[in-house]
Amino acid sequence: MSLLAFPSRIRARVLCDLPLAPLTTWRIGGPAQYLVHATSLRDVADTVAACRSANLPLYVLGGGSNLLVGDDGVTGVVLSLHAMKKMQAFGNKVHVEAGASLGALVTRCNQAGIGGPHGLAGIPGTLGGALAMNAGGRYAEIADFVERVVWLNPQGELESLYREEIAFGYRRSGLRFGVVIEAVLAGHRARPEELVAKSREIMKEKLAVQPYQEFSAGCCFQNPMGGSAGRLIELAGCKGMSVGGAQVSEKHGNFIVNRGNARAQEVLELMRQVTLRVQQAQGVLLKPEVQMWPARDVLANAA
Ligand SMILES: Cc1cc2nc3c(=O)[nH]c(=O)nc-3n(C[C@H](O)[C@H](O)[C@H](O)COP(=O)(O)OP(=O)(O)OC[C@H]3O[C@@H](n4cnc5c(N)ncnc54)[C@H](O)[C@@H]3O)c2cc1C
């Protein structure tokens, strides 16, 4: 595929061979063959159509806070919606575009007295990524507040879905198979100062137990039913284990941190070793939570 496959009106927003590492919180990974910065629904639709007609893989990039990009990067098109970040609060609802940061969304809801999303405080990334991953934690998950989502479905058609029509699961949703454009979230009326105080409290809790100042992608593995992956990893004696520049955090067993120059291959190998150790020690097979570009099977990773 050459640049000519993109409609002329968006060609100026297409970057070639662009390093993806700086666009991820792990700071790991090779370049994207093409990266498109969409500024409108039309840009998104044109990019999706170009990929479909050239039969090229499409990857949608949010804040890169749950992503492991391979060392060789990705062949195909990476679509960023960062420039699409408008937000408008009305009553107990907020209308927000996919590229808006989740932090900005929480702040806006708190200021507007919209309670609920305050429980998502401290989760990095964008609204689009949060909906694709059903981001959340102890206090809330984003699916709790979804009223409606507009997306380009896997067939490239624009659709508006109500909450009940979306397959949300634990740290997963069917929305990651398309492109989320915007959403309407609904919370409950609450006093702004209380929401701000609760969000601060949640952030404080996270800072105490998670290595926020280091390069990571948050929790690497999903929690098994009723358990904590971090605790299992700790019990299996994996805290502090390292492969090259990748290390299981000493602060939180489910975080792998990049100590400066880790490669994706090293993270994968460390994830494989941790998976095997936990399986041997506790008989639990951990499943990755982080998304891998291109898709990889951790256990098939060569040692
Ligand atoms: C320090 C730290 C703490 C974290 N804490 C938490 C936590 O408490 N709870 C939690 O759930 N997660 C947590 N995470 C993980 C991460 O922040 C979330 O999963 C986040 O929602 C990912 O959003 P993103 O925009 O960064 O998505 P990305 O990492 O860019 O992408 C993740 C997936 O979403 C897809 N995607 C992104 N945008 C769109 C879109 N517009 N349409 C369709 N698909 C899209 C991507 O294609 C990819 O499959 C943490 C991460 C870090 C680094």
53-108 pLDDT, tens per residue?
889 999 999 999 999 999 999 999 999 999 999 999 999 999 999 999 999 999 99
- Residue 191: Cβ-neighbour burial (10 angstroms; 0-12, 13-18, 19+): exposed
> Is the pLDDT at 302 greater than 80, yes or no?
no
Could you tell me where in the chain the CATH 3.30.465.10 domains are found?
87-209
243-273 pLDDT, tens per residue?
999 999 999 999 999 999 999 999 999 999 9
Rg of the chain over Cα atoms, rounded to whole angstroms, equals 19
30 CA → ligand 1 middle, Å: 19
**How much is the average pLDDT of 173-188?**
97
Return the CATH number of the domain spanning residue range 229-300: 3.90.78.10
> Is the pLDDT at 1 greater than 80, yes or no?
no
**How much is the average pLDDT of 24-35?**
98
Percent of the chain whose predicted confidence (pLDDT) is above 70: 99
Q: Give the residue whose CA is nearest to atom 47 of ligand 1.
A: 60
Closest atom of ligand 1 to 210 CA is: 1
Q: Which string of DSSP letters, residue by residue, matches 188-203? A: EE--HHHHHHHHHHHH
Q: How far is CA 81 from CA 4, 64, 179, 193, 270, in A?
A: 21, 12, 9, 31, 31
Q: Which of 7, 13, 16 is nearest to 49 (CA)?
A: 7
Closest atom of ligand 1 to 179 CA is: 42
Architecture of domain 6-80: 2-Layer Sandwich (3.30)
**How much is the average pLDDT of 12-35?**
96
116-142 pLDDT, tens per residue?
999 999 999 999 999 999 999 999 999
> Is the pLDDT at 193 greater than 90, yes or no?
yes
Could you tell me where in the chain the CATH 3.30.43.10 domains are found?
6-80
Q: What are the start-end ranges of the E strands in 83-127?
A: 87-90, 93-97, 114-115
Q: Which of 212, 194, 36, 211 is nearest to 114 (CA)?
A: 194
Architecture of domain 87-209: 2-Layer Sandwich (3.30)
168 CA → ligand 1 middle, Å: 14
Could you tell me where in the chain the CATH 3.90.78.10 domains are found?
229-300
DSSP-derived letter for residue 298 is G
**How much is the average pLDDT of 174-179?**
96
90 CA → ligand 1 middle, Å: 26
DSSP-derived letter for residue 207 is H
Half-sphere exposure of 120 (CA within 13 A, CB side): 32
Q: Which protein residues touch ligand 1 with a CB less than 6 Å away?
A: 25, 59-67, 81, 98, 123-126, 128-130, 132-133, 135-137, 171, 175-176, 179-180, 212, 216-218, 291
215-239 pLDDT, tens per residue?
999 999 999 998 999 999 999 999 9
The pTM (predicted TM-score) of the whole model is 0.97
Q: How far is CA 129 from CA 12, 27, 173, 176, 230, in A?
A: 25, 17, 10, 8, 22
Query: Given this model, what pLDDT does residue 301 score?
Result: 65
**How much is the average pLDDT of 135-156?**
96
Asked if 52 and 156 count as a contact pair (C-beta separation under 8 A), the reply is: yes
Q: Which of 236, 214, 246, 211 is nearest to 286 (CA)?
A: 236
